[in-house]
Amino acid sequence: MAGPRTDHHVILRVVAKPLIPIIALFALYVHFHGDYSPGGGFQAGVIIVVAVVLYALIFGITPAMRAVPPVFARSLAALGFIIFAGVGVWALIMGGNFLDYDVLFNEEPGGHMGQHYGIIAVEVGVLFAVAGSMLSIFYAFAGRVTEIKDEDW
Amino acid sequence: MIAGYSGADLAIALINVLLLGLLFVIGVAIARMRSLFAIVMLSGIYSLISATWFVALDAVDVAFTEAAVGAGISTALLLGAMLLTARTAKPEPFARSIVPILVVIATGAMLVYATIDLPAFGDPDSPANTYVGTDYLERTPQEIAVPNIVTAVLASYRGFDTLGETGVVFTAALAVILLLGFGERSLSATFNRKKDKK
């Protein structure tokens, strides 16, 4: 990419490098704390993608595609949707209605394990689907322009 | 003191006026601008300010989503889309913008007229706070046992809606992929073209 003469984004790179893992960690916090505070799979998925997009913007699209391959992104999107719909089918198999978490574990009335794990599974599905879809969209756009020169802006 | 407001209420009212005024100014600026880069950046700022406004309205979940999706990923995606096209929008002749301006003014006037019938903000007797909303608030501790009622409604009571939303996001990604390709193949094609030129 940029040689020593043209690399004047060194401050950007140094600042972004520690930020990216923090953003990813924050996404996980938002996801797993979604039961207690604002947030959940949707927001967490978007935030995780922002970490990858930031990496792609600063270090280039090719290293980003090497770190998180596009085929992984689109498989993740499909897997997420399958997890969500699969929880619904699981409830169907257990004899309840589609997405009725109460029947997931055949528990007594008043038990909340089905609701608890059902919501967690569904949120994981949303996280995967949103993160994979957003990243696929970003790759589709970004794959068309190789290097953005400064005079392009 | 302004009539009808006192103390904290006045502060919140002033913050609301300030944020909505900022949104209005940014909206006008976006409509008048021609540089797509500036428009994309301003729309990100628009999302950020509306997220702040949602916090002022106590809709923290909506604010969080607006900040993450509107200001975060949308801005990045719009920048990516902008790089595939020209950097500036063509100037529109004034004669062609008269009809849109009239439509916008008429719609805006109708919306303002409709707000007269809306219940007051936070009114406990409003339709949104009486029927199904109170039901969710009362039943969630027994039925779902999740502290955040928004999560209970989103993932459990309205699970079908959320499944549909996830499907919409997935379909959007599919549509973009069908139109533009996966990304890696077009990337390597561009690299090969560059090599051929050299």
Q: Could you read off the pLDDT of A5-47 as tens digits, one per residue?
A: 566 678 888 888 899 999 999 999 998 887 777 778 889 999 9
| ipTM computed for the complex | 0.85
Per-residue pLDDT tens, chain B, 198 aa: give them. Answer: 455 566 778 888 899 999 999 999 999 999 888 899 999 999 999 999 999 999 988 888 899 989 988 888 898 888 888 888 888 888 878 888 899 989 999 999 999 999 888 888 778 888 877 888 888 888 888 888 888 888 888 888 888 999 999 999 999 999 999 988 887 777 777 777 777 766
Interface with B, mutate which of A26, A54, A134 (most B CBs under 10 A): A134
* Alpha carbons A107 and A102: distance in angstroms, whole number: 8
Angle (CA) B173-B76-A67 rounded to 5° is 70
- Whether B177 and A135 have beta carbons less than 8 Å apart is answered as no
Alpha carbon dihedral A112, A114, A117, A120, in 10-degree steps, equals: -90
Q: What angle do CA B133, B135, B139 make, to 5 degrees?
A: 130
Q: Which residues pair with B88 in a beta bridge?
A: B35
pLDDT of res. A148: 56
CB-CB under 8 Å, B65 with A43 = yes
A-chain residue closest to B160, CA distance: A99
- Say how many C-beta atoms besides its own lie within 10 A of residue B182's C-beta: 17
Q: What's chain B's length in residues?
A: 198
pLDDT tens digits, A58-100: 888 888 888 999 999 999 999 999 999 999 999 899 888 888 8
Q: How confident is the model at residue B1, as a pLDDT?
A: 44
Owner of token pair 């959320």: B162
Planar angle of CA A91, A96, A100, nearest 5 degrees: 60
B164 interfaces chain A, CB cutoff of 8 Å: no
Q: Nearest CA of chain A to the CA of B111: how many Å?
A: 30
Tokens of A33: 């704390």
Asked if residues A104 and A91 have their Cβ atoms less than 8 Å apart, the reply is yes
Scan for tokens 């046992």, then name that residue: B145
Q: CB under 8 Å, gap of 24 or more: what pairs does A145-152 form?
A: A145/B80, A145/B83, A145/B84, A145/B190, A146/A61, A146/B187, A146/B190, A146/B191, A146/B194, A147/A1, A147/A60, A148/B83, A152/B83, A152/B87
The domain spans of chain A are 10-147
* C-alpha to C-alpha distance for A65 and B194, rounded to whole angstroms: 19
Distance from CA of A115 to the nearest CA of B (A): 6
CA nearest neighbour of A27 among A16, A15, A39, A13: A39
Closest CA to A122 of A103, A101, A93: A101
